[in-house]
Structure 1
Amino acid sequence: MKRSAIGAVALLAALLFLAGLPGCREQREARVPTSVRDAKVKPPVEKPAPELLSTQAAFIEVSQKVTPSVVNISAERMRSAGELGPLFENFFGDLFGDLPQAQRKEHSLGSGFLISADGYILTNEHVVKGAEQIKVKLSDQRVYDGQVVGIDPRTDVAVLKIETREKLTAAVLGDSEALQVGQWALAIGNPFGLDRTLTVGVISATGRTEIGIEDYENFIQTDASINPGNSGGPLLNIYGEVVGINTAIVASGQGIGFAIPINMAKAIADQLIEKGEVTRGWLGVSIQPLNQELAESFGLDQVTGALVNQVLPDTPAERAGVRRGDILLGFNGRKIRGVRDLQQQVAGTPAGEQVSLEVLRDGKRLNLQVALAAQQAQEAALEAGAAPQGEVFGLSVAPAEGNEGVLVEAVDEASPAAAAGVQPGDLILSVNRREVKDLASFDRAVQEARDAKNVVLLVRRAETTLYLAFAAP
């Protein structure tokens, strides 16, 4: 028995020895196929298309060149939190309501990028809003305290500063006005705390407004992945130039992200660095968008520009000769696409600057020179104007006090006037630009308007005047 056991051990040892010999090892390895890349194993695609290789090389180069200018931002805030959980609060009600509120630290992560070698950083306002302590980490892992130079909540732009004696790598800012839909777009940021992640897509759209994110919107839309933590990071073109600040995503959509154009952000940053706040230009008009009927009634072949429904007294617009009923078509040589676009252009122009306005008045195009004033909060609301809804007619009117207009007493709910939003109490000031002073002048203006293709009413509601248009019956 012992001899058999010893023999078995000896046989096993001999087999192990033989397995270690070169010939046996080669034989065993030959029976295990591998796909390890070496001189004998070629890739499935030996020669990728040159276009793919050059694009890949471009992405790699952009990442290598720009990443040193991208920073991670950690903001710390203090938040009040009840010492009792919601279960206790629901059960005991206000019994413990007088207990002091506990304070807890809340951390958030975001991104930013250096815009100067001496440590100025551009990011989003919401990244640093309310922060009591800000830490900025560079690509080489050095960490600095960040100080807020200035913020602009109305555009979601903020400027930070870090102090260092070393010269830092600043990003190169491009021209967002030159962007075209379909261009490559690369985003670098800190999504979910994952350091300096690169994502690639295209410019999906430019000039996006009415998103409802900020007061002043002119967003670049991209399908380059933007996730929580990307906020404040750069959106780049294929040359590695910053063309936008990654800002927001559509939570319910895939591949829909928005970035603040760098031209707009730079203008804001320059003011924040220079004086710590933003001063916007102000024109002094109440404006409203055009619909098809209004555009046709004013002789426009397309719905573009902004309609002036009120010129405020003692304002830049009044001094420049702007009148109620003017269509503003151009601002300083740039076409006005609509109300939001005009607001953006005016607000982005420094107070005191002389600008030109292209105006359509009585079928003729005029150029007016206007020196913008500084905008105040209440003036910003007036500049937005009031947006009319729909069309007009189906009214009963009565004499108004004074020698101006007629008073709308009732509106037929099934009429075009109701659909237009005309309300009892509105004061009709003109019909097809024919001034209305009383019932007689109103009747004459209505009779003349029946031969027109469209009818345009100017009405006053409270402190606002606005135009309403409809197809003539």
Structure 2
Amino acid sequence: MKRLASLLFVSVFAGAITLGAYKLFFEKDNFTIISQDNGSSNSVFNTNYTPTSASGSGINEVDFTMAAENTVNAVVHVMNITLSKGPTSIFDFFYGSSASAVPQVGTGSGVIISSDGYIVTNNHVISRANQLQVTLNNNKTYNAELIGADPNSDIALIKIDTDEKLPYLAFGDSDQTKIGEWVLAVGNPFNLTSTVTAGIISAKARNLGKNQSFIQTDAAVNPGNSGGALVNTNGDLVGINTAITSQTGSYVGYSFAVPSNIAKKVIQDILEYGNVQKGFMGIRPAPVNTRDAIEKGINNIDGVYIEFIEDESAAQEAGIEIGDIIKKVDEIVVHKYPDLTGYLSTKRPGDTLDFVIDRKNEILHIPLTLKERQTLVVPEMGLEVKNLTAHDKKVYKTKTGVKIIGVPERYRGYGLSEKVIVKIDDIEIGNIDDAYNAFGGISKYSKTVITMLGSNGERDRLIFQ
């Protein structure tokens, strides 16, 4: 027994000597002492040990099933049937055209927004339609009626009549969406059943060339998905899928949606007023990425630099000045012009907004009440006209009419600039809406007489054919 105890002691002693020798002669230090002195040259990296939340975890920890179930039955297939003349021949020139109308079919998606059959889709999905048909996710097909459309926002409202209550989606608040938030794109592009793709919000307030304000997502969207739903993980409608950026015409990673707040406002205006009510503040921002902007030092400004203010506009009446920088509107931070135009697109004339302005490094809060649009470009001739100010009425000695402030190149030689249009044929022109409707009714195959006033009161008549 004593011999066994001696062997055990010798073994433990030998192991201790071996471990000590290894620690002393072979093992290198694997720690670093970091000084708390702020003046130290050592590099210090802060580490966050906060546990990640489920909502911010990987895709396997996010459940899309409930949002998909709540959405697919409210997304429909929209078929647009247009009639166009068939090919003509030399005999049509001598004996008149006898070609019959040929139906052409375009397709897209739509979103049911009320149980009684109102459906929102894209304007480009239903434009020039002679007949509209809607197929639900249960494969029932109905004829649809166009209620109204807004080409500027690419939003249209159609309706189907059915005795049954339809599943529909509630509008979410697109202003509260965040970059990196999970979203689903739901469409019915092939008239089979609704399809669902997932992605995240890649950017907000994207401008595709006309001062729009789109939500950008990497959820797969293809042409037939236009007019479909972009929903968050709660199943709330946060956008109407509209466009893709692709050289092939198919999805390559970028897709865009009209924010739900804009779509909702357009739809409400169509239902209440019959057209879209737009509130304007009457400014023009300084263009960025130009030599002039770089020379002025305003190319990299965070906000909207005001370069021009219209007379008697909402901005002028509120006391906003040229050179002011818009930093915020209500609770919306403004980094660039689409941030501003996107929010204004959700407002109407008469709405009062709180603007945060940087004026020569002084931050000001300025309330501004939006007004109706004072300028527009009329159809056919493309003239830019504006409502008359009190000063204009005094100078031109008239109470009605619209002033020409922009002339296309093809009409530059007619001396139209700064003239006031008071009549088109026999139609009296009181404001820009009258001018828009009158020019829209001009026929390409008949002459048009435009009656105008000059600044000295002389009356001119121009005949266009």
Question: What's the TM-score, normalizing by structure 1?
Answer: 0.61
Q: CA deviation at 1:353?
A: 1.2
SS at match of 1:229: helix
- Equivalent-residue separation in structure 2 for 1:363 and 1:184 (angstroms): 38
1:212-223 mapped onto 2 (5 Å cutoff): 212=209, 215-223=210-218
Of 299, 310, 330 in structure 1, the residue corresponding to residue 308 of structure 2 is 310
Match of 2:156 among 155, 158, 172: 158
Tell me the residue number matched to 1:353: 351
Map of 1:241 onto structure 2: 236
Asked if 1:203 is matched to 2:198, the reply is: no
**1:61 pairs with one of 52, 55, 66:** 66
Once the two structures are overlaid, the 10-residue window that deviates more, 284-293 or 238-247, is 284-293
Give the drift of 1:351: 0.4
**Residue correspondence of structure 1 range 68-467 to structure 2 within 5 A:** 68-84=73-89, 99-209=97-207, 211-212=208-209, 215-252=210-247, 254-289=252-287, 303-378=301-376
1:313 Cα deviation (Å)?
1.8
SS of 2:223's equivalent in the other structure is coil
CA RMSD, aligned part only?
3.1
- 1:191 aligned counterpart, secondary structure: coil
Question: Hey, what's the Cα distance between the residues in 1 that align with 2:299 and 2:96?
Answer: 66
Q: 2:301 is paired with a residue of what secondary structure?
A: coil
Asked if 2 retains the 8 angstrom alpha-carbon contact of 1:289 and 1:338, the reply is no
For residues 361 and 144 of structure 2, the distance between their equivalents in structure 1, rounded to whole angstroms, comes to: 56
Residues 1:302 and 1:270: Cα distance change in structure 2 (over 3 Å): same
Question: Aligned partners of 2:99 and 2:241: how far apart in 1?
Answer: 36
Aligned residues of 1:69 and 1:169 also touching (Cα < 8 A): yes
Secondary structure of the equivalent of 1:146? Answer: strand
Distance (Å, rounded) in 2 between the aligned partners of 1:77 and 1:102 = 13
Query: Contact (CA 8 Å) 2:73, 2:194: kept in 1 or not?
Result: no
Q: Residues 82-112 of structure 1, C-alpha deviation per residue, up to 9 Å, x if partnerless?
A: 245xxxxxxx799779644542101111111
Change (3 A) 1:131 1:301: closer
**1:60-82, CA deviations, whole angstroms, 9 ceiling, x for partnerless residues?**
33332221211111111111232
Give the distance between the partners of 1:315 and 1:374, measured in 2 at CA: 9
How many Å separate the matches in 2 of 1:365 and 1:53?
A: 46
Instruction: Check 1:97–1:247 CA distance in 2 against 1; reply closer, same or farther (3 A cut).
Output: farther
Give the SS at the match of 1:282. Answer: coil
Q: Number of residues paired by the alignment?
A: 322
| Percent of paired sites with the same residue | 33
Q: Is the 8 A contact 1:111 1:230 kept in 2?
A: yes
Give, in angstroms, the shift of residue 149 of structure 1.
1.2
Take 2:218 and 2:84, find their aligned partners in 1: how far apart are those partners?
Answer: 34
Q: 1:184 to 1:347 in 2, by over 3 A?
A: closer
Partner Cα distance (1:195, 1:97) in 2: 48
How far apart, in 1, do the equivalents of 2:322 and 2:377 lie?
17
Name the SS for the 2:327 alignment partner. strand
Deviation of 1:122 after TM superposition, in Å, equals 1.0
Gaps of 5+ in 1: 1-49, 85-91, 384-473
The alpha-carbon distance between structure 1 residues 291 and 364, as it changes in their structure 2 partners (threshold 3 A), is: farther
For 1:313-356, what per-residue CA distance to the aligned partner results, in whole angstroms no more than 9, with x for missing partners? 22222221122222222223422222333233334320011222
User: Secondary structure in 2 aligned to 1:151?
Assistant: strand
AA of the residue aligned to 2:323: G
Tell me, in whole angstroms, the C-alpha distance in 1 between the residues paired with 2:100 and 2:370. Answer: 49
* Aligned-pair CA distance for 1:118: 1.4
* TM-score between both structures, scaled by the size of structure 2: 0.62
CA shift digits 1:37-63 (9 cap, x unpaired): xxxxxxxxxxxxx987664xx333333
